[in-house]
Structure 1
Amino acid sequence: MRLRTTLITLGVLSALALAGDLAAEQIAENIATDKVSDRLPGDQGSVDVDIAGFPFLTQAVSGQFDEIEITVKDAADPTGSSAVTLPSATLTAHDVRVEGTSSAVADRIDGEAIVPYSAIADGLQRQYPGQGDVELAPVTGGANRVRLTQGGEHLIARLTGQRPDLVFTPEVEGAPPQMVTLATGPIPVDVTGVTLDDDGVRLHIAARSVSLG
């Protein structure tokens, strides 16, 4: 009987400890979400933060978190430029350390986002106006080849990432490259690679030593 009572007591204490850990984690996630959201321009966009790992309190006491998942949606460029907005970017912050009482820094961040071809075409048209509507589509015959159509004229180019920009390098010798800037949201990241999917351009993004607020 005594053993059974002891086991029941341990079970209750474990459940209370788990509930307390989860509650503390939820509070911390809400605070982190608010801090990152404060960087958004006005009411544009949304942020969701999920702190990985268990138990949370052990990580909190040490001031070091292995991974924090951050999802940013529809975040416009805070400078108010005509940069292309990412519909959604999923980021993972690695080795996050808390500094002081109100800031945290991630050793590195990586993630992905998919941008529709139509959104990139609209961005190109804003940055290179006066020549008609722009259309963008992938073409076969090599990695990251796209066809740009503007004013009835077609141009084949290779698409690469360069910091927060997408660069279109024409295959025609002597033709200048074209660029479109991406609004990467409240967390500054660079485009490290691109993959052409049916739904749009998949961006591979990364950064190092990033303040999370």
Structure 2
Amino acid sequence: MAESYPANEGRPRRRGRKVLVTLVVLLLVLGGLAVVADRVAVAVAERAIADQVRQEVARQQVESAPPEVQVGGFPFLNQVVAGRYDRITIRLRDVRGSVQGNAVNLPALDIDARNVRASLDTLRSGQGDVVAETVDGTGTISYDSLAALLDRPGLKLGERDGRLAVTAPVDILGQQLTVSGTAEVTVSEQGQVALKVDEVDAEGLPAVPLARTLLNNWAQGISIDVPLPELPFQLTVREVRPLPGGLAVTADARDVPINQAAG
């Protein structure tokens, strides 16, 4: 006689699978909600930090477009609880400073703050300190701004084969000549841009020693240290490099307040 099996023997297995599927779906939904909440919290924090950065930049008498802030690290809410953020990047566009009455323009200043300490109450209320362990900044100074600081009529600066190119009209022994050459550009101990014109010539230069002496004297006259405007966040210039779009500036600082604590 053939053996028979209860018709409902497979139901507990099917019911168990349904429970497992339901549990997995529930976990996915909760996980998705957690991710959404995490991203919403990031957006709120970025707006709060951007507002404090805007106030700090204005306090240092530097003008710029509204700061763009991005908070790195995931999950963000864990960083909120710890009051420490792995990385905060800040972009300031159209940065404008002033040196000796001359405007100095940086089309963009990118700031990378690492290991930032900020309590939840500070982000919510704006009261307290937001401090970065390290801050690195990169930006580009327009050549027109740099030429204006040198205060030489008709002076044009640019980049040629990785060096600073110099062109200017110069009067030598009654002749209007166009001088061209290159300069070494470094950072002085005072954090200024140090220029040293080491190769210069002028087409049509009279073949007399005095003409060459006058040309060399002109070159020495612009081989000077050029002060830069105070950069935000206590950034100190460490390196400058001529690029086609301007003079690239690299700066850094340690233990920097990203905001000014309200009193």
TM-score normalised by length of structure 2: 0.68
Work out which of the residue numbers 147, 152, 174 in structure 1 matches 2:166.
Answer: 147
Higher share of residues assigned strand: 1
Match of 2:257 in 1: 211
Rate the CA distance shift 1:80–1:98 in 2: closer, same or farther, 3 A: farther
Work out which of the residue numbers 188, 191, 200 in structure 1 matches 2:234.
Answer: 188
Query: Whole-Å Cα distance in 2 between the matches of residues 83 and 165 of structure 1?
Result: 16
Query: Whole-Å Cα distance in 2 between the matches of residues 5 and 80 of structure 1?
Result: 70
Match of 1:166 in 2: 193
Q: Counterpart of 1:45 in 2: which secondary structure?
A: coil
**Comparing 108-117 and 182-191, the one that deviates more:** 182-191
The one-letter amino acid of 1:54's match is: F
Query: Whole-Å Cα distance in 1 between the matches of residues 238 and 232 of structure 2?
Result: 18
- 8 Å Cα contact 1:72-1:185 kept in structure 2: no
Q: Deviations over 1:153-194 (max 9, x none)?
A: 556421112465322123369936423333465323122112
Q: What are the within-5 Å matches in structure 2 for residues 1-213 of structure 1?
A: 1-41=18-58, 44-46=63-65, 47-77=67-97, 81-98=101-118, 101=122, 102-125=128-151, 131-140=152-161, 144-147=163-166, 149=168, 151=170, 152-154=178-180, 156-162=182-188, 165-171=192-198, 175=220, 177-183=223-229, 185-213=231-259
Rate the CA distance shift 1:28–1:206 in 2: closer, same or farther, 3 A: same
Query: Whole-Å Cα distance in 2 between the matches of residues 169 and 210 of structure 1?
Result: 33
- 8 Å Cα contact 2:158-2:244 kept in structure 1: no
Structure 1 unaligned residues grouped into runs of 5+: 126-130
Q: Deviations over 1:6-56 (max 9, x none)?
A: 111111111111111111111010000000101334893121110000011
Higher share of residues assigned helix: 2
**Comparing 4-13 and 76-85, the one that deviates more:** 76-85
The sequence identity of aligned pairs, in percent, is: 26
Rate the CA distance shift 1:184–1:73 in 2: closer, same or farther, 3 A: farther
Query: Whole-Å Cα distance in 2 between the matches of residues 165 and 139 of structure 1?
Result: 22
Report how many aligned residue pairs link the two structures: 206
Rate the CA distance shift 1:179–1:148 in 2: closer, same or farther, 3 A: farther
- 8 Å Cα contact 2:98-2:104 kept in structure 1: no
The one-letter amino acid of 1:6's match is: L
Query: Whole-Å Cα distance in 1 between the matches of residues 192 and 107 of structure 2?
Result: 16
TM-score normalised by length of structure 1: 0.82
